[in-house]
Structure 1
Amino acid sequence: MNGRRPIRVLHCITSLNRGGIETWLLRMLEAMPTERVAMDFVCKGAHVGALADQARALGARVHHVPLRPSHIGYLGGLRQLIVEGRYDLVHDHLEAYSALPVLVARRMGVPVIASYHNTSFAAQTWTGLPVLRQLRAAYAKVSIACALRGSDLVTGCSRAVLASVDPDTRYAAKSRVLRYGIPLPEHGTVAARKAFRADLGIAEGNLVVLHVGRFAEQKNHAGLLRVFAVVLEHVPSAVLVLVGDGPLRAAIERQVSQMGLGAAVRFVGVRDDVPSIMA
């Protein structure tokens, strides 16, 4: 070591719930040499999320600064965190709310990266209600434009994502595609497969269609159910297993009931043994 302190990075996220981006961030945290980079998180959601303890076990600090309608508490709390944590870089993952970390970081002279992970940013809370949905969409447009203008670097997980936030390629010079990758998990065993099927009452020879994902609009569970209904017409013994949780779970459960698919669909919630389920 040369005696220099590690670069301190603060990731601004909604929460550390189970999801693709959150898993990727944890794998980065796990692989990052701590003598060179220190990663912490600040969550704006109602809670810090189910993976927060894993992040702490890997050496990260997990802060909770809830974002409320006035925004004042979040802006002040984020500024205080950056000062107290002596962060060298802010990495902004807030998408529709991405202007907030960018504004704070720029005012403090701290470099900031704005990252986007989706081509649309559907509301997941009460902001998705009628009228509010349109207001939030307008807010997101202004927020993203502000973040693009003020950030030092813009990343997207694909060219399509970058095109959705910057259709005129005004900020192409400072935009990069950042492809996310995580280590492949170990394969599940035959014994684990049999135990999982037995727990759900699924016969060994039955076709199982597995979907792993958060119950959110972009995951298109509604479309999946329509496709599965066609599968059932050809394979009556097929079973659809839905792994995950989210704001639309209750709505999907109602759709399953309305379509008469209850006997063929299993909701198993959040699981930590997905590789075994996929065996």
Structure 2
Amino acid sequence: MIGFNTTQSTPPAPVRVGFVMHKMQVAGAEVLVKQIIEQLAGEIEATVFCLDGLGELGQQLRDAGTPVIVLDRQPGFDRQVAKRLADEVNSRRIDVLHAHQYTPFFYSALARLRHRCQTKILFTEHGRHYPDIVSWKRRSANRWLLQRYAEVTTACCDFSTAALRQIEGFPRAITLRNGVVLDELPPRGDAQTQQALRAKLGLQADTPYAACVARFHPVKDHATLIRGWRQVHQQLPGAKLLLVGDGPERANIEQLIQQLSPLAPAAGERVRERGPTFASSIKFLGIRNDVADILRAVDVFTLTSVSEAASLTLLEAMASECASVVTDVGGNAEHLREGIDGFLTPRGDAEKLGERLTELLQSPDRCREMGTSARRRVIEAFNLDDVIAAYAQHYKTLQK
């Protein structure tokens, strides 16, 4: 009787990865973590540790079965957070801690330094503050002690990598670029498809549209956008600006729009502004679940941040074949090629921003040309599948 070897190779055990975050809100780093967890299901066993609160994405992950632990960090330096983190990591036998941003890394490193937590650490930096100033104490602590506890240090663009090396004191930092899911961001299609999409969104068929997708926060500098749009409105009174998002600065921006709008005429006065008013040319859409559709429907995407690293929204706009006008800060110039995929303008320069927006909104053919080029750029260099595969390889290497 012929014998057969029925022994089958045992699949490798999932890597137990703990993601250390501030809060799982709807923002770039947090969205990336959710995508990693979903795409690597079966390869990793994920737990999320939030220093400061749960957040909308945290609740979604909990509902889907991923443990999300809120550590309830107190204001200032909370010594007990590192101990609570170490206790959770040890009890859950976490192989790798993936800390996103510096403070989550700091507490992860402290968990190893002070509380005998043996897990390996992967530290990923995303955005940077503006102005980018780090105290000499923090830099010295990083260079001479804390950076030893990051087996791998990555940043999402060369701008952030340089900051980690030169400002923070992490000389081994490498760039691992962000990416987007191309299947979720199809090209905009022909004229008929475009008209149907606009009708679905309640947008007018022949109106020039620009859109900004960003939280209302000082770093996003919506004030420069509004001042630049005033210039656009003077040249193209029929053009519309869509503001997608919400946040603490929204009320201030609404007030600025009113300040820049001509006053209603008093009795006997002539009307100072004919046609559509400045205020009516701007529409607040709030937080939306159909951002991909909006990006495909508008003509131009714009972002006026004073500081940016690797903007996922810019990549989404580029993948959606949307020409872009964004500030030349952080990693934006690594993503968008000036004059090819869109335009870069100086930080805080409302006049130049207005000029570039007007130029594109007056030229549908130029918009289409730049949009087509932008999508090719994303396909070639910013595919999320490649990014997540690289993280997965780091997890497996650190598990050993």
With the shorter chain as reference, the TM-score category is: 0.7 to 0.9
**Rounded Cα–Cα distance in structure 2 between residues aligned with 1:244 and 1:144:** 35
How far off its partner does 1:141 sit?
4.3
Q: Which residue of 2 aligns with 1:224?
A: 225
Q: Which residue of 1 aligns with 2:122?
A: 113
Which residue identity lines up with residue 177 of structure 1 in the other structure? T
Q: Which residue of 1 aligns with 2:60?
A: 54
Q: Is 1:43 matched with 2:50?
A: yes
Match of 2:72 among 66, 71, 76: 66
Match of 2:288 among 246, 271, 278: 271
**Rounded Cα–Cα distance in structure 1 between residues aligned with 2:95 and 2:179:** 25
Q: Which residue of 1 aligns with 2:339?
A: none
| Deviations 1:178-217, CA, capped at 9 Å, x for gaps | 11112121447643421323xxxx5332221111122233
How far off its partner does 1:74 sit?
2.0
Alignment CA distance shift 1:29-1:177 (3 Å): same
Which residue identity lines up with residue 195 of structure 1 in the other structure? K
Q: Which residue of 1 aligns with 2:88?
A: 81
Q: Secondary structure at the match of 1:92?
A: strand
Matched-pair contact (CA < 8 Å) for 1:27–1:182: no
Alignment CA distance shift 1:71-1:243 (3 Å): same
**Rounded Cα–Cα distance in structure 1 between residues aligned with 2:31 and 2:164:** 23
Q: Which residue of 1 aligns with 2:210?
A: 209
TM-score of the aligned structures, taking structure 2 as reference length: 0.58
**Rounded Cα–Cα distance in structure 1 between residues aligned with 2:112 and 2:242:** 43
How far off its partner does 1:222 sit?
2.2
TM-score of the aligned structures, taking structure 1 as reference length: 0.81
Q: Which residue of 1 aligns with 2:269?
A: none
How far off its partner does 1:140 sit?
9.5
Q: CA RMSD in A?
A: 2.9
Alignment CA distance shift 1:139-1:233 (3 Å): farther
**Rounded Cα–Cα distance in structure 2 between residues aligned with 1:266 and 1:6:** 47
**Rounded Cα–Cα distance in structure 2 between residues aligned with 1:192 and 1:84:** 50
Alignment CA distance shift 1:226-1:100 (3 Å): same
Q: Is 1:181 matched with 2:182?
A: no
**Rounded Cα–Cα distance in structure 1 between residues aligned with 2:57 and 2:28:** 12
Q: Secondary structure at the match of 1:14?
A: strand
Which residue identity lines up with residue 275 of structure 1 in the other structure? A
Q: Which residue of 1 aligns with 2:165?
A: 166
Alignment CA distance shift 1:38-1:139 (3 Å): farther
**Rounded Cα–Cα distance in structure 2 between residues aligned with 1:49 and 1:268:** 21
Q: Secondary structure at the match of 1:180?
A: coil
Alignment CA distance shift 1:247-1:100 (3 Å): farther
Q: Secondary structure at the match of 1:84?
A: helix
